[in-house]
Amino acid sequence: MFVRSLIIHGPPPLFQKPLTYGIDIVVHSASKYLGGHSDLLGGALITSGEVMKDLFNKEYLLFGGTMGPREASLLLRGLQTLPLRMKVHQENAKQIAGFLSSHPAVSRVNYPGLRSPRNTEINNQQLTGFSGLLTFELKSANYEAVKTVINKVRIFKIGVSWGSFESLIMSPNLGNNADNLIKEHVSPGLIRLSVGMEPTEKLVADLEQALDL
């Protein structure tokens, strides 16, 4: 078996289909948008029949696990509402990205749903929609500013996962790794949001009061 490319997939399969532009293996986390309720662990591997047969015989039979019936039923439940949920995630994230891009405390917003020449080119080639995941960078690119914002939000909860109904916030800046972040070309002022399904106006108001530095 010869595999040229593998992608750990972030956007849900509704909005991007990597196999159609040459990716050999796609790995989905079913715990994120596919499940959609923060109550299951699971994953899916999508590939050709030839590659799957080889993986089944040489890997799965030795190391693979099987999803339990309860987790499988929860995943099927989540898939039934996936198109409806993604519309809300996408619309909420677009509005929040627009709000952040014009905020005086924010230097940059990273979200493919914002219009720009680079985003437009990628979107036309690969995407048919957008998720609720985005990052923004504070002009005060230091740990104290990041900590202040994260501690002040009330609707956003601190968490490293994404793709569920609740909105989450986190930062790679841990207060003791700024030098490493700079070496990796990550702004020490970076904050990541997983935008959930709460009313958009409440999410915007929550960020607005938190960004009053």
State whether 105 and 189 are in the same domain: yes
Angle (deg, nearest 10), helices 69-101 and 200-210: 60
**Could you read off the pLDDT of 118-149 as tens digits, one per residue?**
667 776 777 888 999 999 999 999 999 999 99
Name which residue leads in pLDDT, 57 or 209: 209
User: How many Å apart are CA 156 and CA 167, to the nearest integer?
Assistant: 5
Q: Are residues 46 and 114 in the same domain?
A: no
Domains in the chain, number? 2
Instruction: Note the pLDDT of residue 63.
Output: 75
Q: Are residues 62 and 22 in the same domain?
A: yes
Under 8 Å between Cβ of 188 and 82: no
Is pLDDT above 60 for 93?
Answer: yes
Over the stretch 169-212, which tens digit does the pLDDT of each residue have? 999 999 999 889 989 999 999 999 999 999 999 999 999 999 99
* CATH (domain of 203): 3.90.1150.10
Indicate whether 76 belongs to any domain: no
> How far, rounded to the nearest angstrom, does the alpha carbon of residue 68 sit from its chain's CA centroid?
25
Same domain? For 108 and 152 the reply is yes
Nearest-angstrom CA–CA distance, 160 and 14: 23
pLDDT at 2: 54
88-106 CB burial, b ≥16 within 10 A, e <16: bbbbbbbbbbbbbeebebb
User: What pTM value is reported for the model?
Assistant: 0.87
Q: Which structural domain range is residue 61 located in? A: 6-70
Whether 202 is in a domain gets the answer yes
* Same-domain status, 120 and 64: no
Closest CA to 192 of 111, 126, 114, 127: 111
